[in-house]
């Protein structure tokens, strides 16, 4: 993919609909879509039996009514959990979403997806590899592939071996030593960085190297304007009710 071929909308709804609905559920995607969003970010990991499903944390405590590590449960158990009631009564009973269910929703509506690979500890490479394989299968024959991103370079290495053709992006919360070389070695098409890291020099460096520059998580107008002024290619936001794409 060359920069000229970048197919993703500039505004991307974080975890489906930010904080307005239970994050990383189909209900959140539906709400984000109602707000006019055509591109979404979500976090994925593996169940014990290697189903790819949406969850941000290592544990189930914050976003379901269960507790403990998600990685030790089979999908048959995970799919029965309430992943909505913690948010508000209106969403009680909302289930965890499989990547397959989210893919069906996005493909039917022609929405773009940024899949953040969020491996359970110790499963970094395997998660990248399995997520990429599953995504390649789900999006087979589609013109716009999902963008695979991760803070974990090992997960992106796994994604590269699982489905090399799917575009990759390194997530950065700091500009750690050697990040740029990693981006190149992993043949990334983009960097998705904490919005606080961006200045003109960083955007120019990325663009000059043929990379796209995306920022997370951009929730106020002033920050959004300044990033757009710098030429950012994508903004990931929770504020889907305030920023209209």
Query: Could you give the string, one character per residue 90-119, with x where binding to Mg ion holds by CB under 5 A and - elsewhere?
Result: --------------------------x---
Question: Which CB sits closer to Mg ion, 61 or 77?
Answer: 61
Distance of CA 55 to the CA centre of its chain: 11
Rounded-to-integer distance, Cα 152 and Cα 46, Å: 15
List the one residue from 13, 29, 43, 136 that touches Mg ion (CB under 5 A): 43
List the one residue from 94, 116, 124, 129 that touches ligand G3P (CB under 6 A): 116
Residue 23 touching Mg ion (CB under 5 A)? no
- For 5, 139, 151, the CA distances from 183, given in Å and listed in that order, are 19, 24, 11
Residue 238 touching Mg ion (CB under 5 A)? no
Residue 233 touching ligand G3P (CB under 6 A)? no
Binder of residue 149, out of Mg ion, ligand G3P, none (CB less than 5 to 8 A by kind): ligand G3P
Binder of residue 236, out of ligand G3P, Mg ion, none (CB less than 5 to 8 A by kind): ligand G3P
Task: State the SS3 of the chain.
Answer: CCHHHCCCCCEEECCCCCCCCCCCCHHHHHHHHHCCCCEEEEEEEECCCCCEEECCCCECCCCCCCCCEHHHCCHHHHCCCCCCCCCCHHHCCCCCCEHHHHHHHHHHHCCEEEEEECCCCCCHHHHHHHHHHHHHHHCCCCCCCCEEEECCHHHHHHHHHHCCCCCEEEEECCCCCCHHHHHHHCCCCEEEEEHHHCCHHHHHHHHHCCCEEEEECCCCHHHHHHHHHHCCCEEEECCCCCCCC
Size of the site for ligand G3P (CB under 6 A): 11
Residue 233 touching Mg ion (CB under 5 A)? no
Residues 188-207 within binding reach of ligand G3P (CB under 6 A): 192
Residue 171 touching ligand G3P (CB under 6 A)? yes
List the one residue from 236, 237, 240, 243 that touches ligand G3P (CB under 6 A): 236
65 catalytically annotated: no
87 catalytically annotated: no
Residues with Cβ within 8 Å of residue 43, at least 6 apart in sequence: 15, 24, 54, 55, 56, 116, 118
Residue 134 touching Mg ion (CB under 5 A)? no
Query: Could you give the string, one character per residue 137-166, with x where binding to ligand G3P holds by CB under 6 A and - elsewhere?
Result: ------------x-----------------
The active-site residue out of 14, 65, 195, 207 is 14
Least Å distance between CB 141 and ligand G3P? 26
Residue 98 touching ligand G3P (CB under 6 A)? no
Residues 57-96 within binding reach of ligand G3P (CB under 6 A): none
Catalytic residues: 14, 56
């Amino acid at each position: 993919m060359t920069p000229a071929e970048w197919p993703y909308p500039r505004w991307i709804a974080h975890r489906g609909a930010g904080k307005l609905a239970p994050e990383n559920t189909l209900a959140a995607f539906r709400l984000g879509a109602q707000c006019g969003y055509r591109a979404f970010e979500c976090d994925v990991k593996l169940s014990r039996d290697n189903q790819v499903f949406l969850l941000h944390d290592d544990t189930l405590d914050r976003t379901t009514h269960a507790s403990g590590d998600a990685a030790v449960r089979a999908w048959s158990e995970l799919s029965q959990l309430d992943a909505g009631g913690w948010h508000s009564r209106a969403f009680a009973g909302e289930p965890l979403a499989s990547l397959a269910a989210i893919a069906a929703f996005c493909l039917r509506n022609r929405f773009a997806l940024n899949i953040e690979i969020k491996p359970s500890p110790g499963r970094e490479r395997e998660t990248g590899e399995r997520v990429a394989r599953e995504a390649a299968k789900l999006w087979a024959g589609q013109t716009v592939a999902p963008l695979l991103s991760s803070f974990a370079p090992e997960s992106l290495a796994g994604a590269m071996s699982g489905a090399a053709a799917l575009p990759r992006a390194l997530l950065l919360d700091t500009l750690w030593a050697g990040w740029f070389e990693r981006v190149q070695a992993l043949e990334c098409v983009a960097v998705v960085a904490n919005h606080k890291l961006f200045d003109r020099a960083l955007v120019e460096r990325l663009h000059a190297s043929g990379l796209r520059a995306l920022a997370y998580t951009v929730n106020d107008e002033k920050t959004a304007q300044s990033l757009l002024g710098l030429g950012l290619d994508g903004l990931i936001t929770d504020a889907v009710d305030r920023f209209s794409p």
